[in-house]
Amino acid sequence: MNAFWIILTASLVSICCGILGCFLVLRKISMIGDAISHSVLPGIVIAFLISGSLSSVLVIIGASLMGLICTFLIEFFHRTVKIQSDAAIGMVFTFLFAVGVILITAYTGNIDLDVDCVLHGEIAYVPLDLAETGTFLDSFPTQPIILSILSLLILIFVFIGYKPLFLTSFDPEYAIAIGISTSLWHYLLMAAVSVTTVLSFESVGAILVVAFLIVPASTAYLLTDKLKLMILLSCVFGILSSILGYYLAAYLDGSIAGAISVMMGINFAIVFAYTKISSKKLQKIKSDPALNS
């Protein structure tokens, strides 16, 4: 049963991240996922210091806000101060992460919050943390319940906002020209990434979240020319890596999060090799003069 809960948790995170990751990759801002996942640390710590607990709503709100503040700061440094966007990302998130590290080491002593746990998560403990709601849900672990709700919310968000998300990702200038607020959709997406990062950091950690955001979406991007299919494939690769990664870790008796990351990398490599081989065929088709009218 433990295996089931762990794989389910990882798969749910991979669905949330796989959907959002497609838009990050297509907007060429996938490193913002990295920035957000690190920047939530000071938010988590501050909220933890105020509320004295790691699993309060306050922590989720505080940390998500910090993720949004991070994206505001990146936009500010890029647009107003006019430095390169990758430099802006690097500056902002290392600073916020460092603030978080200082806060942890200075104030939380050796309470159960350490940098290592934030970065790598404790997915193996997911089945032990049962929900305490006083309802039938109490026989289930907390994380999969929360992540199921989150997955549903993200699906609804992308389903309802599909048109503007598609448009602002492909051609932001045209989107503004026809009256769509590109910054509104940018920040809605960033808010979704922030909440996802915060809700999944406890189980899978900041590093695996980043991998889930970027790798399956990039793998899917290699395979398809259709956005909807890309989103679907991205989720499939995430789930596949979660299953294979779990059993790899069990076999090696190693880190589950690490094994899942490795599986995503292997997925990518196989797909990349496959597209290279088949693009040779495509090249032949493309050079067919009949098709170039």
What is the contact surface with other proteins in residues (CB under 8 A)?
26, 28, 82, 160-161, 163-164, 166-167, 169-171, 173-174, 176-180, 221, 224-227, 229-230, 286, 292
Whether the CB-CB separation of 39 and 97 falls below 8 Å is answered with yes
Whether the CB-CB separation of 209 and 201 falls below 8 Å is answered with yes
Residue placing its CB nearer to other proteins in the complex, 195 or 230: 230
Residue placing its CB nearer to other proteins in the complex, 167 or 236: 167
Residue placing its CB nearer to other proteins in the complex, 135 or 293: 293
Residue placing its CB nearer to other proteins in the complex, 167 or 243: 167
* Least distance in angstroms from the C-beta of 286 to other proteins: 8
* Least distance in angstroms from the C-beta of 176 to other proteins: 6
* Least distance in angstroms from the C-beta of 158 to other proteins: 12
**Percentages (nearest 5) of helix, strand, coil residues in the chain:** 85, 0, 15
Residue 103 CB contacts under 8 Å (≥ 6 apart), including other chains: 42, 45, 46, 49
* Least distance in angstroms from the C-beta of 188 to other proteins: 12
Query: How many helices (H) and strands (E) are present in the chain, helices listed first?
Result: 11, 0
Residue placing its CB nearer to other proteins in the complex, 2 or 183: 183
Residue 205 CB contacts under 8 Å (≥ 6 apart), including other chains: 117, 118, 119, 120, 121, 122, 123, 257
* Least distance in angstroms from the C-beta of 167 to other proteins: 5
Which secondary-structure segment (H or E) carries 40? helix 30-51
Return the number of other C-beta atoms located less than 10 Å from residue 287's C-beta.
9
